[in-house]
Structure 1
Amino acid sequence: MRFRGFRTVLFASVALVPCAAIAAMQPVAPQSARKADTRKGAVKPSASMPKRAAAITTEDIQVFGGGSTRQMATISSSELRRSVPGTSAMKVLARLPSVNFMSADPFGAYEWSTRITVRGFAQDQLGFTLDDIPLGPMEYDTERGINVNRTVLSENIRSTTVSQGAGSVEVPSLSNLGGTMQFYTADPSLKPGGTVQQTFGSNDTFRTFARVDSGALNGSGTRFFLSYAHSTLDKWKGAGSNLYDQINAKLVQPFGDHTTWTTYFDWSDRKEIDYQDLSMNYIHILGPNWDNYYPDYAAAYNAALGTYTRGENKTNDALDAAYYAGSGLRQDFVGSTTLDTALGHGMTWRTTAYAIADAGFSTWVTPYTPSPNGAPLSMQGRDEGGQRYGLVSNFAWRYMRNDFHTGIWFENNNYIQNRRLYQEPLLGQGQPLSPYVWQNTQNAFLDEWGYVFNTNTFQFHLYDTYRVLPNLQVNAGFKSLVSTTRSGILFNNPAFTGQDTLPSGGLTAAAAFLPQVSASWKVTSHDELFFDVSKNMSTFSFSGWNQGSPFGITDANAFRQEQKSLKPQTAWVYEAGYRIHRRWFDGLLTGYRANFSNRLLTIAQGSIINSYATVQNVGGVTMNGLEVSGTIHFPRHISWYNSFSWNRATYDNNYTTSSGVAQVRGKQAPNMPILMWKSQISYRYKGFSTDIDENYEGHRYVDYMNTVAAPHYFITNFGASYDFGQLGALRNLSLQLNIYNLLGQKWIAVVGEEGNPLQGDYQSFMPGAPRQFFGTISAHF
């Protein structure tokens, strides 16, 4: 299963290999077609070469989005470089107003724990892209997408653009009820050279990054880069190391002055040992440093027999306090090829074909099912794999006062998810199964269930931006979206599922007209007003038996009724704001509102191992929010950024369950803080820079009835770097120091990773890492 379909993706990206041959075959443009360059041996970029990101003159975090008809924010590669190398780009985005990022580790790399919300929209209600490649809602199990950490190394990200309110209708997404995040890869350099970077730090962190740029290989500008990163870092509590290997490569081939062909390739291999999910009861009694037994198999074995030696029996659930081990293994291939051409008369056409192949194996060694040999433990393994193939094609025409834009997106997604059990040894009679190793499915002693899903998605969009006056522009357009998913059963164990046959069939989410209207008015050269109104739809999620999706329902009759009545989630999103730009100050004030319809809640029940989740349509959700942010530019290279955000998202209706009426009306949506405050003080002078970041988040509820919450927290991070400039053959030799959680706070970082119960405590919290130190040395050549 692991490598099925990967060959196809490799073939789609194989164009990266013959780049040297392409360079040799490419004719040199006539001198008359190129401007003279005064630098010896230099190649002048042609019009077909992608333009570099515009220079950011004030801040590397562009919160204020001047000129946009929606609230937009951009983070440059410079801001990413100030974080510890390998830090998730999503974590850096958490410095923006109303963006909440959660992770149990300091890098935001441990994927099971990572969650991001924007203005109260959860991760599975946002849209994500890399260049033109749709990343879906970036779920851990890759049913509909893939996490950006697995598609590009942070050093190869040129910039990231965030639309906090609602993304443009052109963004290819299955899930963006709310905003979008668009990541853009850096192009190969026109000059030959490379980068070497080494990071050391707490918990035996060791990360190596290397990149080689070919430079322009001929007069047309053919060029490529190849980069590799290897990371090892121990967990900050418990035992186990997380291992990451990743390769990125990119080829840019201009054809004449008006056409560019770009090919991108990514390979990622990840092995993560899990932190244990905790309840508030476990945190209060066992402490925030509590974790699984690994590698102490004897302790886990004895606990499975009811012999507890570490205080587990003082909690309200000793059996689930800790397991032997859990892990997540992932391998991914991503390939894309893009043709971008200027057709003349203000018209451009850009088409991207892409292919993504994923394989995963997630494990838990628990006492819930004994092994056939009599051992009280067994390994639960969920293996999965998928292939996505798609095409995004956009046409733009700038005509008089109009900017017309239209395009299509098509994708086919084939995904398999199975769950099996594997035997563990009797104590003292062999080695336990390694959480780092993919198990052979032929060795399973029990096949519980297996599903296959196939999804076809088509999206069309059309919009026009009309410049009414030089200082007033209006944008209006719509998109049409249809997505059909069909499920099939690969195998079913009636003794486990309790069903002779599992439900299967199809669900379709469709909307012919999802409109968007927005405008911006530059009142003066320093003051600007904007508004945006849009309607969006999210398609149906899918996963295996009892896994919290409409397809995981256990009863065939209920699924048939669901096919007739279930409606996709939709949301009307409104925002209006004011931007101010002065020499010494940039500011933003934004108010927003969202009205959800057919809000589907996943209600977690039972233990996290023997869990069952129900999907409930609770009707409407109303969300209101306010953002205030600003940057003061002091003399002598100092700036101070602050943002305050308030968000109130409540359910409009109660809903009926088999045990009665759930009184959720007026309750705050879980996992998300109502109040957030962020601050950053920065100092830049010549080669030296330093930053202090502060982040406050209010309490976050874990249950829908708002009875149990993670308390508020305040975290401070510090970073400093010095660039020595040219030293012999090395360019930009630099040293960097980062201190995470500078004040050593104890805090709850993650809420809701195992789902949300209707009421009460649940094993769905993860404490954040204590103070961590990291040092980096890097050089260019």
Structure 2
Amino acid sequence: MKSRLALSLSTVLAGLAIVPAVMLAGPDRAAAATPARPAPAHPAPAHPALAHPAPAHPPHRVSHPPRGARATPAAPAPQAESIAVFGHGSTRQMTSVTRTMMRQSVPGTSPLKVLSQLPGVFYQSADPFGAYEYSSQLFMRGFNQSQLGFTLDDIPLGDQQFNNYNGLSVTRAIISDNVSGVDVSQGAGAIDVASTSNLGGAIQIHSIDPSHTRGGTVGQTFGSNAATRTFVRLDSGDLNPSGTRFFVAYARTDMDLWKGHGYDYSDQVNAKLVQPLPRDSSLKLFFDWSSIQQFDYQDMTPNYLHTVGPNLANYYPDYTAAYQAALGHYPQAFLATNDPFDAAYYAGTANRVDYLGGLTLDENLTSDLDWKTTLYGHGDSGYSTWSTPYMPSPNGAPLSQRIQTPGIARGGFESAATWTLARHKLNAGVWYEYGRFTEGRYFTQAPLLGQGTLGNPTGGFPADQIFANAWQEVFTSNSFVFHLQDTFTVTRQLTVNAGFKSMAVWAGNRVPVQDAVLNGGLVAQGDLTASNAFLPQVSANWHFLPHHELFFDVSHNMRAFPQDGFGTNVSATPWTASQAAFQKTRNTLRPETDWVYEGGYRYTSPFLSALASLYRVNFSNRLQLITSQAGINPITAVQNVGGVTTNGAEASMTIRPLPGLSLYNSFSYAHSTYDQDVVTASGIEPTRSKLVPNYPSYMYKGNITYQWRKFDVHVDGNYISSRQLTYTNDLHVPGYFLANFGMRYNFGDAGVLRGVTASFNIYNLANKTYIATTNELGNNFVNTGYNYFLMGAPRQFFGTISANF
């Protein structure tokens, strides 16, 4: 095998923004058994989409206004809507993105991708929609998405890592057309945000309410790579004098990969019911169902990029080419690489089905006392595939198909009361969640050449072809959080918020099935508890002059231990190691914690909205996977390896000089370095004072929007500085500037249709070749030749026709 096999797990995640714990070597994509999309009518060439490392051995290579300190951000001027609404009156840095702002993107674009316009927010994806989950990567002030908090209408969405164990991807939780807005706290999330992972900030997504008027919306999008997207929403309107109303919405997205063959296909249904109650109270019910089938893009290395080029892709549907490559007979272009065996595989896919529901009662008991309770549940099932040449089939075929079968069943409740007493607003509440995460790894037989092919891996789980079951794991967890805070209006100009939360998360697993020979040892089994009774937060806002305000925030945060199966994601989960390594470290491991300090200035007027802030993060107990033995099956363990210090600054400005014209600019700087060297079995790795990989030190975002009568047009651009690929900073990817263009025209009414609108968008206007996602397979200490990333999509064109009725 290649040396990459021995090195990968030693290079995996280091806590702070190092590796979004969302990625795993291809096959470990959780997914759901869904009927396969019919095969494309056009013939497919001999190279499609994914490259992921070896299997059994380690991979080598609001609807409701926010409570407490979360003051509702004020909209700017009633002119052209700017890109960001800064959190006027908030005691911490808050930025909001409204539904109107989201319409600048192609329908179906992930709400997280839209957030990339905000200061300090860094989003990457290998596809233009941000829908390809394996490549979805979000950082905020250096923290990756598994270290942030995410909610949808107060329903917790977990830590957003790819192989999710406690939540659901934003794109599968809600259809983007049904998002009313997103509130982003870049520094630290409010203490009442339902998350056990938000070391950094929080992202709170809100769904639209049903319309009071009967009708609906339809939209049809066409675009590059045979992309089609259909959206329909039907509103009941008020059904009775009390205002009972609901909507039902459906979206279907179908597009080919932009390189190689394969597709990204999804069906999704949303429904929401609103029942107004006396005293401006309400009962709201939200439901989401989603089904996805995604083929993987090929993981790249600097060597592959410079020898084969950015369009390197997998072999699918050419089974003969993949079979021959597993025997050592490669395409001519691959011979120039440093590892043609690993350069491409047959295919990798992810298939998932999810159900998510939440019921919220918001009861205004008196004019001064409000009680809000949310009950929710989530179920996920699926399978993922990876055609691996590292495991031959018993029939003599030189490759097999590795399949992973993750599943989630979780449910919980949140309940909080807010009491206004004189100049105090007291808020106290509890959140409890029970979670069950299951996962198994199987190997299925590939046919001999001439006796069939692996076909379309999304066609169903091939249970009759299983020849090995490496392991099965069952995780259970109980999370309990209590919070208490007081927002004190000291004077009309000065507001202070102070509070704390107590958090306890117990998690453990059992392993009913495992193959010690196949796994290279026993799979880790046991339980861990992360708890802290006092996680304080203090913040304040001083409105010292008209339009001018200062704010500051100090918070102490903790992240519970992440969960995952043996040798799967690149997150530093203690359960990814062997039983011996787990037992050795379980009594000394401490959950990751940090202190976040931020302060800033806001200016808000009809002509100008401006924001400037400074922040510092002291991150402790950083967890990292460390290899203690070389070889194809190295022994790994999770260790606390020290801390990270981050100092940063951000500035944003929106100018509205003329009616209809909005000019937005933001700059951000972050200096994030390791505090200590890391000691491994190979010696000392010189990581002290080195920059944290994957997050750029400098970012610039700009947007020009102009609206004239029924026509509006915008151009936006992002500059991203270079990013480090290794912990010792001996390899980096270059910076880039990416521009996008969009325009929309409202033709007015046509018969029964109202507001018939046509829009046109160009993604990557200059057709820039650039590196998007990095670290999806983990970062190495040094340049090994196996430092992975994914390419960004080339120029893409999309057109949409939509109307109301």
The alignment's TM-score, normalised by the length of structure 1, stands at 0.91
- Matched-pair contact (CA < 8 Å) for 1:519–1:530: yes
Identity %: 47
SS at match of 1:112: helix
Shift of 1:551: 3.4
Between the aligned partners of 1:86 and 1:3, the Cα distance in structure 2 is 21
Between the aligned partners of 2:512 and 2:733, the Cα distance in structure 1 is 40
Q: Deviations over 1:367-389 (max 9, x none)?
A: 11111111111101111101010
SS at match of 1:436: helix
Shift of 1:256: 2.8
Q: In 2 relative to 1, CA 587–53 (structure 1 residues): closer, same or farther, beyond 3 Å?
A: closer
Between the aligned partners of 2:626 and 2:212, the Cα distance in structure 1 is 53
1:135 aligned partner: 157
Shift of 1:261: 1.2
Q: Which amino acid is 2:376 matched to?
A: Y
> Of residues 786, 791, 794 in structure 2, which corresponds to 1:770?
794
1:157 aligned partner: 179
2:84 aligned partner: 62
Between the aligned partners of 2:627 and 2:768, the Cα distance in structure 1 is 30
Mapping 1:144-543, distance limit 5 Å: 144-499=166-521, 501-543=522-564
Q: Which amino acid is 1:567 matched to?
A: R
Greater RCO, 1 or 2 (C-alpha within 8 Å, sep 6+): 2
Between the aligned partners of 1:739 and 1:550, the Cα distance in structure 2 is 40
Shift of 1:592: 0.2
Between the aligned partners of 2:633 and 2:693, the Cα distance in structure 1 is 22
Between the aligned partners of 1:602 and 1:648, the Cα distance in structure 2 is 24
Q: Which amino acid is 2:191 matched to?
A: V
Q: Deviations over 1:705-753 (max 9, x none)?
A: 1111111010000000011222221111100000000011110011111
The alignment's TM-score, normalised by the length of structure 2, stands at 0.89
- Matched-pair contact (CA < 8 Å) for 1:504–1:551: no
Between the aligned partners of 1:440 and 1:79, the Cα distance in structure 2 is 44
Q: In 2 relative to 1, CA 756–603 (structure 1 residues): closer, same or farther, beyond 3 Å?
A: farther
Q: Which amino acid is 2:444 matched to?
A: Y
Q: Deviations over 1:88-145 (max 9, x none)?
A: 0000000000100010000000000001000111111100000110001112112121
Q: Which amino acid is 1:513 matched to?
A: F
Between the aligned partners of 2:385 and 2:85, the Cα distance in structure 1 is 40
Q: Which amino acid is 2:581 matched to?
A: A
Shift of 1:63: 4.1
> Of residues 709, 722, 727 in structure 1, which corresponds to 2:732?
709
1:9 aligned partner: none
Judge which range, 682-691 or 172-181, deviates more.
Answer: 682-691
- Matched-pair contact (CA < 8 Å) for 1:542–1:551: yes
Q: Which amino acid is 2:792 matched to?
A: G
Q: Which amino acid is 1:703 matched to?
A: T
Between the aligned partners of 1:356 and 1:604, the Cα distance in structure 2 is 36
Between the aligned partners of 1:244 and 1:445, the Cα distance in structure 2 is 30
Shift of 1:79: 1.2
Q: In 2 relative to 1, CA 157–2 (structure 1 residues): closer, same or farther, beyond 3 Å?
A: closer
Shift of 1:762: 2.7
Mapping 1:674-713, distance limit 5 Å: 674-713=697-736
CA RMSD of aligned residues (A): 2.2
Between the aligned partners of 1:613 and 1:295, the Cα distance in structure 2 is 36
Q: Which amino acid is 1:642 matched to?
A: N
SS at match of 2:656: strand
Q: Which amino acid is 2:561 matched to?
A: F
Q: In 2 relative to 1, CA 689–610 (structure 1 residues): closer, same or farther, beyond 3 Å?
A: farther
SS at match of 2:512: strand
Name structure 1 gaps, 5 residues minimum.
Answer: 5-44
1:7 aligned partner: none
Q: Which amino acid is 1:732 matched to?
A: G
Q: Deviations over 1:536-592 (max 9, x none)?
A: 000001111123544335443432232211000001000000111244222111000
Aligned residues: 735
Between the aligned partners of 2:299 and 2:31, the Cα distance in structure 1 is 27
> Of residues 738, 742, 746 in structure 2, which corresponds to 1:723?
746
Judge which range, 595-604 or 568-577, deviates more.
Answer: 595-604
Q: Which amino acid is 1:269 matched to?
A: S
2:696 aligned partner: 673
- Matched-pair contact (CA < 8 Å) for 1:363–1:379: yes
Judge which range, 759-768 or 376-385, deviates more.
Answer: 759-768
- Matched-pair contact (CA < 8 Å) for 1:60–1:78: no
Name structure 2 gaps, 5 residues minimum.
Answer: 1-29, 34-62, 66-71
Q: Deviations over 1:508-542 (max 9, x none)?
A: 00010000000010111111110000000000011
SS at match of 1:445: strand
- Matched-pair contact (CA < 8 Å) for 2:417–2:428: yes
> Of residues 551, 562, 582 in structure 1, which corresponds to 2:585?
562
- Matched-pair contact (CA < 8 Å) for 2:628–2:681: no
Between the aligned partners of 2:101 and 2:590, the Cα distance in structure 1 is 41
- Matched-pair contact (CA < 8 Å) for 2:74–2:86: no
SS at match of 1:344: coil
- Matched-pair contact (CA < 8 Å) for 1:228–1:248: yes
- Matched-pair contact (CA < 8 Å) for 2:239–2:245: yes
Between the aligned partners of 1:605 and 1:110, the Cα distance in structure 2 is 34
Between the aligned partners of 1:242 and 1:64, the Cα distance in structure 2 is 35
- Matched-pair contact (CA < 8 Å) for 1:487–1:551: no
